[in-house]
Chains A and B, each alone.
Chain A
């Protein structure tokens, strides 16, 4: 049988899904064990117990200086920045995308502008953000907003343009004004596409967050990683990276489920 016609069955699929992860873990821990056997003070590949101890210290023991649980404080700070940034970017992107995609008078000035803006490397203007907005929360949130809004807006503009002309004409013959047409026809059709676009920019959003936290912050997941780097504390860095990955994966999953739940009519939701 040809390779392209061979499908794994249910059990086989599960095994195939888990296999690469198991392989990675096995490789890591065997390498870690052999290094630690050579040199018990080795910091590069900490063992599971070392990492568990680090997590226990950060997540389940009060910090002596501040009295906080650092791990959760970092997580809360990062997630609120990320949520705020993504929320503002989604709202802005939606407004810009609809304006540029549906209203010809707005498309003329907006479309080329968005194209140019999306070419500006956000990290290159990070210093400007720190100068303008100071080193506080605002600059970090703004970096996420500036980084992903043009991408979202351009994607949504494209999606809005893909709405068949017939649909817009039909809505007008049903008595819609421009405003109610956007509210009842365009917006509902773009919302599932917004969720999909958000899934795609989630990675960049995390990148900008961690970059901003690494440079100027006093808490946050990115801040902690870059802080403990000085002590080569791989036993902290690795669990933090795994935790960030898990959070990002959960957000992706959440967005996908939300699309399926809220927009059952949307065919792309099944993918």
Chain B
């Protein structure tokens, strides 16, 4: 899939359609991006970004290489601070450093090479509970490992619990990274080209897995992809990043904005909304099964 070319600016009314999404989802603004700019030195990467995202949406982010998609994810992750503007999560300003409320899967280096598959996931249960040594012992450790094994079986890694990441294929490593992120029950899951290095067959499997997990956990997903068809088929919302103004003499003078914001897969959105409307004890069961 070739990168998206510069397109004419979409009008404000087309770019943002809160009315439309209220039809199918409970209108609860979860993430609120308010006039965010990101600049490195005098290079403007993102400008005047405005976005509201409801809980449980699956946003796919596409755009030309280097236009600032990863930068936007870094802002959401708290790895960097926006130069201007602010991002609210549930009405509160976003924590300024990465924490366990936001999970992340990178294209590479997402898993710990020195831990077995099982420990790669179990460490997520150990770290928050053992502030001093970072590891659990005895029964607590056994329980953490059982919980980790359960989610690993779910992502199809049940047969590889004792392997090290270097012994896994690319697809298996990404499965592991997803399991690792989801064991924390994050409210937001950020994926930066998670399947970019996988071949098409494996990619299809991963799409199925990701959608299934998204349905069950109700996590809000932001996923960067270079594959437009992947963006269309997976998301409930497609965000296109593009520069609206270009100064040929100063390429860094203007940043990218969200030029298209396209609602997708309304059936899936409705489905999710229906799950969200289920009584808590049922959805609770679903989540704890994970």
Contact surface of A with B, Cβ cutoff 8 Å? 164, 166-167, 169-177, 179-181, 183-185, 188-189, 263-267
Contacts and interface: CB of A to CB of B under 8 A. Distances in A.
A264 B106 CA distance: 25
B77 A184 contact: no
Given A175-B100, A263-B114, A167 B164 contact: no
B103 A183 contact: no
Given A180-B131, A180-B134, A183-B133, A173 B99 contact: yes
Nearest to A265: B164
Size class of the contact patch on chain B: 35 or more
Given A175-B124, A184-B123, A265-B164, A170 B130 contact: no
Given A173-B104, A175-B128, A183-B133, A167 B186 contact: no
A181 B98 CA distance: 13
A82 to B, nearest CB: 29
Contacts of B100: 173-175
Contacts of B145: none
Nearest to A267: B166
Nearest to A177: B131
B262 interface: no
B79 interface: yes
A177 B134 CA distance: 9
B184 A265 contact: no
Given A169-B104, A184-B135, A174 B124 contact: yes
Nearest to A170: B110
A174 B124 CA distance: 5
A267 B113 CA distance: 10
Nearest to B102: A173
Interface of B: 77, 79, 97-100, 102-104, 106, 108-115, 123-124, 126-128, 130-135, 164-166, 180-181, 184, 186
A102 to B, nearest CB: 15
Label chain A's interface by main secondary structure. helix
A164 B99 contact: no
Contacts of A183: 133-134
A216 B79 CA distance: 55
Given A166-B110, A167-B109, A184-B127, A265 B166 contact: yes
B99 A172 contact: yes
Among B131, B134, B186, residue most surrounded by chain A Cβ atoms (within 10 Å): B134
A172 B109 contact: no
Contacts of A267: 166
List 5 A-B pairs, minimum CB-CB distance, nearest first.
A180-B134, A175-B128, A172-B98, A164-B109, A166-B109
Given A173-B104, A189-B112, A265-B115, 8 more contacts: A164-B108, A166-B110, A173-B100, A175-B99, A175-B100, A184-B135, A263-B114, A265-B164
Contacts of B114: 185, 188-189, 263, 265-266
A171 B131 CA distance: 13
13 contacts: A164-B108, A164-B109, A169-B104, A170-B111, A173-B103, A174-B100, A176-B127, A176-B134, A180-B131, A184-B127, A184-B135, A263-B114, A264-B164
Given A167-B109, A180-B134, A188-B114, A173 B184 contact: yes
